[in-house]
């Protein structure tokens, strides 16, 4: 799971943060890649744990399950049952706070190696501009989709984001 390691001492010290393990299985048809978990997610040890993050609400209509009403382990199970996997583009980086704009000294996850293990994969979707910019070069030979960020720092309302997120459903239903 994600880790926060303090580098340096005092107020000038910087935290090196590490992403979570991928949540995928052999039936993953859509892989959603974020950038790097924020502080609330790292503290909770869960993807998209910040209460204002719209991720679970945006995916609920896509999978037909009220994801926010479920316990975390059941949310992950519902995504996997629908064919959706999760991971992050950034394996580790220094970043004060949770803003993607503050990510420095990033090391990428081996996205291509993970994709090679997913025979049913049809789409790699990027949750937000940072994930898209950092990750699109890591994906070859498969369709990609840039999604508006689910982060509370991306202040566009969920209703405006929903049509883009709904496009994931097409890849879950396609043969």
Catalytic residues: 53
The first and second tokens of residue 151, run together, are 């982060």
Please say whether the beta carbons of 103 and 93 come within 8 A: yes
Cβ contacts of 105 within 8 Å, gap of 6 or more: 16, 93, 94
Q: Which three-class secondary structure string do you get for the chain? A: CCEEEEECCCCCCEEEEECCCCECCCCCCEEEEECCCCHHHHHHCCCCCCCCCCHHHHHHHHHCCCHHHCCHHHHHHHHHHHCEEEEECEEEEECCCCCHHHCEEEEECCHHHHHHCCCCCCEEEEECHHHHHHHHHHCCCCEEEEECCCCCCCCCCHHHHHHHHHCHHHHHHCC
């Amino acid at each position: 799971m994600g880790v926060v390691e303090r580098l340096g001492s005092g107020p000038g010290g910087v935290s090196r943060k590490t992403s979570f393990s991928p949540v995928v299985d052999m039936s993953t048809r859509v892989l959603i890649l974020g950038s790097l978990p924020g502080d609330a997610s790292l503290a909770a040890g869960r993807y998209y744990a910040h209460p204002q993050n719209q991720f679970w609400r945006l995916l609920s209509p896509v999978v037909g399950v009220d994801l926010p009403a479920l316990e975390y382990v059941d949310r992950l199970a519902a995504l996997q049952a629908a064919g959706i996997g999760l991971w992050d583009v950034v394996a580790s980086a220094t970043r004060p706070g949770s803003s993607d704009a503050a990510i420095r000294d990033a090391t990428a996850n081996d996205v291509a190696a993970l994709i090679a293990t997913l025979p049913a994969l049809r789409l790699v979707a990027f949750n937000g501009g940072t994930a898209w910019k950092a990750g699109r070069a890591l994906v070859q030979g498969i369709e990609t989709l840039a999604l508006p960020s689910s982060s509370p720092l991306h202040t566009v309302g969920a209703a405006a984001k929903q049509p883009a997120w709904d496009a994931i459903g097409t890849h879950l239903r396609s043969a």
